Structure 1
Amino acid sequence: MTILVDADACPVKDEVYRVAERFKAEVRVVSNSPFRVPQDPRIRRVVVSDGFDAADDWIAEHANPRSVVITADILLAERCLAAGAQVLAHNGKPFDAASIGGAVATRAIMADLRAGMDGITGGPPPFSKADRSRFLQALDLVLTRLQRS
């Protein structure tokens, strides 16, 4: 099992490391810029070029049915689902075949709305303890299912 983390804006990297340790899962922390990761042979930092979507492309190319992708990027989630990977958002919300179409459509509508607002946006809600807890539960559940398959 491998956990692929879209790491540049990921608020749950430490949680991923802890859960991966329990399951003895490999972790690939993918980003455009280097930052510290724990000294562990199962955890590897992957620094890609700063080209547009370079990290997303690397993750999508390495996603497979034995991987879990951690991302808030809906288009990356769609690509990884097509490769057979399990996909979780940072708040623990799973992306799946039933929900990804609606998520992509909503993303497109919101992009159009934001374009018409001249830069006036509220942004996402703050990341909460409840989000962190939901993420931990969801990651544990997904890895348990993968381990049994």
Structure 2
Amino acid sequence: MQIWIDADACPKAIKDILFRAAERCQLTTTLVANQSLPLPPSRYIRMLRVGGGFDVADNEIVQRMSAGDLVVTGDIPLAAQVIAKGGYVIDTRGEAYSRDNIGERLAMRDFMDGLRSSGVDTGGPAALSSRDVQNFANQLDRFLARYAGLS
């Protein structure tokens, strides 16, 4: 099992949690982004830089990941592709996406896109809170204990 991070928009606090988990659990963790990002020295953490462009990082993650891998992303269409390929997804606020809830998340995303394209100001997501960071850490720990046999 590997961890893949959709890293361009992943908050630093979340990356730091993932870096510690990679070391603790000795799991290969790959950040995929269209720019170089600072990484701690580790044999488990690596960077995959991709070209700029729409969905380039997403496509690279889907192409390289395997069934059973974990992907950390807030991108719902990417999450749907990962789940369809047999992977697991946790968003940066700690929500685990699954076959049971991804359809609903995609429908809501499409609905909100429709509102925005018709000129409705839907606002953006709230800033990442300390509670969100804690939710992510707890969800990651539960995932690692359950699916990777680690904690």
TM-score range, shorter chain: over 0.9
Cα RMSD over matched residues? 1.4
Q: How many residues align?
A: 148
1:144 paired residue number: 145
TM, length-normalised to structure 1: 0.94
2:41 paired residue number: 39
1:133 paired residue number: 134
1:68 paired residue number: 70
1:123 paired residue number: 124
List structure 1 segments (4+ residues) > 4 angstroms apart after TM superposition. none
CA offsets, 1:38-85, max 9 Å, x none? 111111100001021110001111222331100000000000001111
CA contact (8 A) 1:93 1:135 kept: yes
Unaligned runs of 5+ in 1: none
- Please state whether the residue corresponding to 2:86 is helix, strand or coil: coil
Query: After superposition, where does 1:15-94 map in structure 2 within 5 Å?
Result: 15-94=17-96
TM, length-normalised to structure 2: 0.93
Quick one: percent identity of the two aligned structures?
36
Letter in 1 for 2:8: D
Report how far residue 147 of structure 1 moved. Answer: 2.0
Report how far residue 114 of structure 1 moved. Answer: 0.8
